Chain A
Amino acid sequence: DAKTTQPPSMDCAEGRAANLPCNHSTISGNEYVYWYRQIHSQGPQYIIHGLKNNETNEMASLIITEDRKSSTLILPHATLRDTAVYYCIVRVVTSYGKLTFGQGTILTVHP
Chain B
Amino acid sequence: NAGVTQTPKFRVLKTGQSMTLLCAQDMNHEYMYWYRQDPGMGLRLIHYSVGEGTTAKGEVPDGYNVSRLKKQNFLLGLESAAPSQTSVYFCASSYSQDSNQPQHFGDGTRLSIL
Residues of A within 8 A of B (CB): 30-32, 34, 41-46, 49, 51, 91-103
Contact = CB atoms under 8 A, between A and B. Distances in A.
Nearest to A93: B99
B50 A96 contact: yes
Contact of A97 (B43, B103, B106): B103
A28 to B, nearest CB: 11
Interface string B1-25: 0001000000000000000000000
Nearest to A44: B105
Interface in B92-114: 92, 94, 96-108
A43 B102 contact: no
Tell me the dominant secondary structure on chain A's binding face.
loop
B34 interface: no
A32 B99 contact: yes
A86 to B, nearest CB: 14
A106 B94 CA distance: 26
B106 A91 contact: no
Given A41-B108, A92-B99, 10 more contacts: A43-B92, A44-B43, A46-B102, A51-B100, A93-B99, A95-B50, A96-B97, A97-B31, A99-B43, A103-B42
B69 interface: no
A46 B90 contact: no
A101 to B, nearest CB: 4
Given A44-B43, A96-B48, A30 B90 contact: no
Contacts of A45: 105
Given A95-B97, A98-B45, A101-B43, A42 B108 contact: yes
Nearest to B56: A96
B37 to A, nearest CB: 8
A50 B18 CA distance: 42
Contact of B107 (A43, A93, A101): A43
